[in-house]
Amino acid sequence: VPPPEQIIITSENFKTVAHWQYPSMSETPHFIVEIKPYTSGRYKNVSGCVDIAAPVCDLTSVISDASESHWLRVKAVVGSQQSVYVETKEFILRKQGKIGPPKLSLSRHNNEILVDIYHPA
């Protein structure tokens, strides 16, 4: 069974997601995703990302410390066979996460200009 390829972790406005590529097969592959925070030094299953068919995993609720290093690994399971795990490079939300621009609203009331600033979506 071939392993997953091109595992990428992205984060925008604290919504953190991993996605990867997998070749087409006659039987539907399922994936197991594990995460290793630096502090524990051990891999654990990502709840909601065990035995999934889609090549995507939401990590938003799993990464709570924006300054801590994390590593992810993913393996494919096809029928009774499985691939080796493929590990990502280090991911640090504080360094690699992106925050979009705030939303602005301008309005004029008599001689005043009001500026409302909203958090990114």
Residue 120 confidence (pLDDT): 81
How far is it, in rounded angstroms, from Cα 57 to Cα 60? 9
Q: Domains along the chain?
A: 5-118 (2.60.40.10)
Please spell the DSSP secondary structure of 22-57, one letter per residue.
----SSPPEEEEEEEETTT-S-EEEEEEEEESSSEE
How far is it, in rounded angstroms, from Cα 30 to Cα 78? 6
Sign of the alpha-carbon dihedral angle for 63, 65, 66, 70: negative
Q: Which two tokens stand for residue 21?
A: 């590529």
pLDDT (tens place) for every residue of the chain, 121 residues total: 999 999 999 999 999 999 999 999 899 999 999 999 999 999 999 999 999 999 999 999 999 899 999 999 999 999 999 999 999 999 999 999 999 999 999 999 999 999 999 988 6
* Integer CA distances (angstroms), 85 to 3, 4, 5, 73, in order: 7, 8, 10, 6
